[in-house]
């Protein structure tokens, strides 16, 4: 087993890996940019190395700096987390050259699956169903593109071969729009991934985004962990995930897992990975891509499979151990839901929101888990994505999980940046979500964020957070200076609310707006 692991990441995923390492008795090395100097993953590490200024291109994406930090601290392995360098084959090769174990797939498998075009070809050869499309499309060959588009049929997608996160994807519904879509997709891909390769793919309408978690070892064993439902998306970005999927039967689950295992074995895959599929209303599914890393949404799989630790499995497999119970059944126990808590304003077209966290109340209670980097006093930097944390709940049934998530969302209070907590609360009460009647395009086509009114119960969190924030930053509460207990802070906050026409009736669940002066 490893003695010391460098975590080539930041935020909640760095903390997630650190916790498992601590349980296994493994020391950790944190790398950090200058704005992250006071971040929790730096505080919690056994060793920490600054690798540059805020922009990721000057810090977290610089392979040479990561390798140098590993050598300087004596790390014998590197865990990449997700994002940044986690799916970069040249980073894997740099680790191998430096004599450092990369906790992830080998470079050749990563290359074979990292490009969506090469991945499609590999899956087709392995007998895994793929969406009809055209793999070899040159940006300059519009004649071939139009001919292939006519064969595939509209609507279709122009997609970038490299990268992920929804970038480089254009929906085309008319032949006259194809050329502009190709230019736009290729341009975005070149900027984001330094690879302008594109391909065409049939647009599967009313499709679900279903993915299968797997772990593969060095001995040819591949274990699949059932499916996750990831169809709640905006701008091709996942917002809520759950396991299992309400639309997947045991028979479909078995076929999905068999296809995922075939995909992994087709290229000698090792370590954790996720095979993503599109599934239509009839239960037919098609290969989408492989994410050659741990996924953001991995906790829901951990919870419905009896509390397995996928990070611990990653580390064990990288250290040469076999996958435990590769033939274990894939039937989930219970239901788990994850809400991505993002720094964005759901009442202002989800505009990004960053800044100082001046008050934080963490959710707790049965079946509740909050993976986050947040703490009071954190100044959320502008250089990285909007993910502030992941709120995950587990319950016996989907209905209980939904109710538990609503409770946990109301318990979670973040004062400072705007968050999408109100969005999740509204989503969890929508009839289509509750019935499972949704697809990847549903959110943008059918969901409208409700307007916030004076008698809206969602004001509860905003009022509490605003009052406490006003007190903590020296607002107009007007109490004595000096240290105060949490109880005194809440008492002072309630006085502030009362002065502004808001009264408390039976605790925080009874906050209501009165008619007094503000």
Which residue(s) pair with 389 in the sheet?
341, 372
Handedness of CA 145, 146, 149, 150 (dihedral sign): negative
* 369 given a catalytic annotation: no
Alpha-helix residue ranges (DSSP H) falling in 361-485: 398-411, 421-427, 431-435, 442-446, 459-472
Q: Tell how far CA 353 is from the center of its chain.
A: 18
- Contact, 367 vs 407, CB < 8 A? no
User: What are the start-end ranges of the E strands in 130-176?
Assistant: 133-137, 156-160, 169-172
Pseudo-torsion of CA 412, 418, 421, 423, nearest 10°? 170
How would you classify the pairing of strands 387-395 and 27-32?
A: unpaired
Neighbouring residues of 25: CB distance < 8 A, sequence distance ≥ 6 = none
**Helix, strand or coil, per DSSP, at residue 216:** strand
| Cα diameter, the chain | 76
Q: Which of 111, 208, 253, 293 is catalytic?
A: 293
Secondary structure (3-state) at 291: strand
- Closest to 109 in 3D by CA, of 247, 267, 222, 229: 267
Q: Do 72 and 54 contact (CB within 8 A), yes or no?
A: no
Main-chain phi, psi angles of 259, to 5 degrees: -65, -40
Alpha carbons 212 and 50: distance in angstroms, whole number: 36
Structure tokens at 454: 């004076």
Token pair for 435: 């019935």
What's the token pair of residue 37?
């100097």
Distance CA 428, CA 186 (A): 36
CA atoms within 13 A on the CB side of 36: 28
Distance CA 163, CA 189 (A): 8
CA 179, 181, 184, 190 torsion-angle sign: negative
Rounded to whole angstroms, the Cα distance separating 459 from 446 reads: 24
Measured torsion, CA atoms of residues 16, 22, 27, 28, in degrees rounded to the nearest 10: 10
DSSP SS3 for 307: coil
Distance CA 453, CA 459 (A): 8
User: Which residues have a catalytic role annotated?
Assistant: 293
């Amino acid at each position: 087993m490893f003695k010391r692991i460098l975590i080539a990441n930041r935020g909640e995923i760095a903390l997630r890996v650190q916790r498992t390492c601590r349980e296994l008795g493994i020391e950790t090395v944190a790398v950090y940019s200058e704005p992250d100097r006071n971040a929790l993953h730096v505080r919690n590490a056994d060793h920490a190395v600054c690798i540059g200024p805020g922009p990721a291109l000057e810090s977290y994406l610089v392979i040479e700096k990561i390798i140098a930090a590993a050598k300087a601290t004596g790390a014998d392995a590197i865990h990449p987390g997700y994002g940044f360098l986690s799916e970069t084959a040249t980073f894997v090769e740099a680790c191998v050259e430096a004599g450092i174990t990369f906790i992830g797939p080998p470079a050749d498998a990563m290359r074979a699956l990292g490009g969506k075009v090469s991945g499609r070809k590999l899956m087709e050869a392995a007998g895994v169903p793929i969406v009809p499309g055209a793999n070899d499309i040159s940006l300059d060959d519009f004649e071939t593109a139009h001919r292939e588009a006519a064969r595939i049929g509209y609507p279709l997608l122009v997609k970038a071969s490299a990268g992920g996160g929804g970038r480089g994807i254009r929906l085309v519904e008319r032949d006259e729009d194809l050329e502009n879509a190709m230019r736009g997709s290729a341009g975005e891909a070149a900027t984001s991934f330094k690879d302008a390769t594109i391909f065409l793919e049939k647009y599967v309408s009313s499709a679900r985004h279903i993915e299968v978690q797997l772990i593969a070892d060095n001995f040819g064993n591949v274990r699949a962990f059932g499916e996750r439902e990831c169809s709640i998306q905006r701008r091709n970005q996942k917002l809520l995930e759950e396991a299992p999927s309400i639309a997947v039967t045991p028979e479909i689950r078995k076929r999905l897992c068999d296809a995922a295992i075939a995909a992994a074995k087709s290229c000698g895959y090792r370590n954790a990975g996720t095979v993503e599929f599109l599934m239509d209303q009839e239960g037919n599914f098609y290969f989408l891509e492989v994410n050659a890393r741990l996924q953001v949404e991995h906790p829901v799989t951990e919870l419905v499979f009896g509390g397995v630790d996928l990070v611990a499995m990653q580390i064990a497999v990288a250290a040469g151990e076999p996958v435990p119970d590769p033939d274990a059944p894939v039937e989930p126990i219970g239901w788990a839901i994850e809400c991505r808590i993002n720094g964005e304003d759901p009442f202002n077209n989800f505009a990004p929101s960053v800044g100082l966290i001046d008050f934080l109340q963490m959710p707790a209670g049965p079946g509740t888990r909050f993976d986050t980097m947040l703490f009071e006093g954190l100044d959320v930097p502008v250089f990285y994505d909007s993910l502030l944390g992941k709120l995950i709940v587990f319950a016996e049934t989907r209905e209980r999980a939904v109710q538990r998530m609503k409770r946990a969302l109301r318990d979670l209070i973040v004062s400072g940046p705007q968050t999408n907590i109100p969005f999740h609360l509204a989503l969890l009460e929508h009839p289509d979500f509750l019935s499972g009647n949704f697809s990847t395009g549903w959110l943008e086509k059918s969901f409208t964020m409700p307007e916030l009114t004076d008698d809206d119960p969602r004001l509860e969190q905003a009022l509490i957070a605003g009052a406490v924030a006003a007190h903590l930053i020296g607002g107009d509460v007007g109490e004595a200076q000096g240290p105060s207990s949490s109880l005194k802070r809440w008492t002072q906050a309630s006085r502030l609310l009362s002065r502004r026409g808001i009264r408390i009736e039976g605790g925080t669940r009874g906050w209501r707006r009165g008619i007094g002066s503000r």
